[in-house]
Amino acid sequence: MPRNHYTGLAGQSHDSPAQAGVLLVNLGTPEAPTARAVRPYLAQFLGDPRVIEYPRWLWWLILHGVILRIRPARSAHAYARIWTAEGSPLRVGSEQLTTALQAALRNRAGAVRVALAMRYGAPSVRAQVEQLQREGVRRLLVLPLYPQYSATSTGSVIDAVADTLKRLRWPPELRIVNDYHADDGHIEALALSIERWWATHGRGDALLLSFHGIPQRYVDAGDPYFQQCHTTARRLRERLGLDEASLIVSFQSRVGRERWLQPYTDATVKRLATAGIKRLDVACPGFAVDCLETLEEIAMQNRDFFVAAGGQALRYIPALNDSAEQVASLAALVLRHAQGWPEFS
């Protein structure tokens, strides 16, 4: 018998009702805050050519010969600082957002199934797309939970979806949300979140928007991420009625020695402290759900940097997570991108 190269579903009836599916995709997380669990996660993440654009042979030697011998223990320590009884904050928050979006769409659309995948780790994009297919999903909208497009994030999700569809005997009709960095509903959700936080905790001396960084050479090669981050910041600044001195943009999470997008967040919080800013509010509009980069890097590491440089308090404003505003904005985004499909008419 010839080898079957494609995944299919046997025994489907011609009159089986079709469904639409929405696949949320977030970055991913290790299964536990241990070096043993972190190592395969980092190997998959840092082994993605979309993330690290070096010659494969050279990067393989660096990754397996140096990084994966040292970094898993360090990363595991950082994960342990934020791990909860329920598990990884990114996993738990993403699952809660998925459940809330499913409920919101149930009231506004027909047979629509909302599922969650992780680009790295579990549940994988492949596993979730194949499961949706088994459940009768014939139209699929992929929504990466990255408001700003980068080849390192959304581009990598598109790769994973394409690799999965190439294996299916009968791929679903496909649509992908490239970004929503300037979406009116998203900007309003961010603004309301910040305003609500200020109403409870008071307003600091300045607001810092910290976005995840990428190497400068990626932007030089045509990645739109830097411009989209600044568009989000400008729209949010206008909505909040702030000037450029009161709302500042920086970029975090750089790795290695090459130049990344600037200004760097750690250097910025130190500079602001020495310049006389006593209470600094920080939000991270590039993260839909709280994770290691917001809860440990910003709310812990950079808080310590700020205080050590003379500031009094760095106050982290949580991500949108499963807030009513984020759920409503994503539901509206889904409905707009799915126009014309019977389930959304």
What pLDDT is attached to residue 14?
Answer: 61
- The single residue listed with the structure tokens 């609500």 is 196
Q: Identify whether the C-beta of residue 64 lies closer than 8 Å to the C-beta of residue 182.
A: no
- Which residues does 298 contact at the CB level (< 8 Å), separation at least 6? 210, 252, 265, 282, 284, 314, 316
pLDDT band at 289 (very low <50, low <70, confident <90, very high): very high
The pLDDT tens digits of the residues spanning 115-126 come to 999 999 999 999
What pLDDT is attached to residue 13?
Answer: 58
Q: Identify whether the C-beta of residue 344 lies closer than 8 Å to the C-beta of residue 310.
A: no
Report which secondary-structure segment, H or E, holds 133: helix 125-134
User: Is 5 marked as binding a ligand?
Assistant: no
Which residue ranges form the domains of the chain, and what is each CATH number?
A: 19-181+326-344 (3.40.50.1400), 184-316 (3.40.50.1400)
Report d(CA 345, CA 340) in Å as an integer.
Answer: 6
- Which residues does 111 contact at the CB level (< 8 Å), separation at least 6? 17, 18, 19, 20, 343
Q: Identify whether the C-beta of residue 132 lies closer than 8 Å to the C-beta of residue 23.
A: yes
> Does residue 172 come out as left (phi exceeding 0), alpha (psi in the -120 to 50 range) or beta?
beta
What pLDDT is attached to residue 111?
Answer: 81
What pLDDT is attached to residue 317?
Answer: 98
What pLDDT is attached to residue 8?
Answer: 76
Q: What average pLDDT does the segment 133-142 reach?
A: 94
Q: What average pLDDT does the segment 296-322 reach?
A: 98
User: Is 130 marked as binding a ligand?
Assistant: no
What pLDDT is attached to residue 204?
Answer: 97
The pLDDT tens digits of the residues spanning 310-336 come to 999 999 999 999 999 999 999 999 999
C-alpha of 23 from chain center: 13
C-alpha of 27 from chain center: 6
The pLDDT tens digits of the residues spanning 70-113 come to 999 999 999 999 999 999 999 999 999 999 999 999 988 778 99
Q: Is 225 helix (H, G, I), strand (E, B) or coil?
A: helix
The pLDDT tens digits of the residues spanning 17-72 come to 789 999 999 999 999 999 999 999 999 999 999 999 999 999 999 999 999 999 99
Closest to 158 measured CA to CA, from 149, 169, 168, 148: 149
What pLDDT is attached to residue 5?
Answer: 78
The pLDDT tens digits of the residues spanning 181-230 come to 999 999 999 999 999 999 999 999 999 999 999 999 999 999 999 999 99
pLDDT at 11 over 60: no
What pLDDT is attached to residue 274?
Answer: 98
What pLDDT is attached to residue 3?
Answer: 61
The pLDDT tens digits of the residues spanning 233-269 come to 999 999 999 999 999 999 999 998 999 999 999 999 9
Report d(CA 75, CA 32) in Å as an integer.
Answer: 11
37-72 CB burial, b ≥16 within 10 A, e <16: bbbebbbbbbbbebbbeeeeeebeeebeeebbeebb
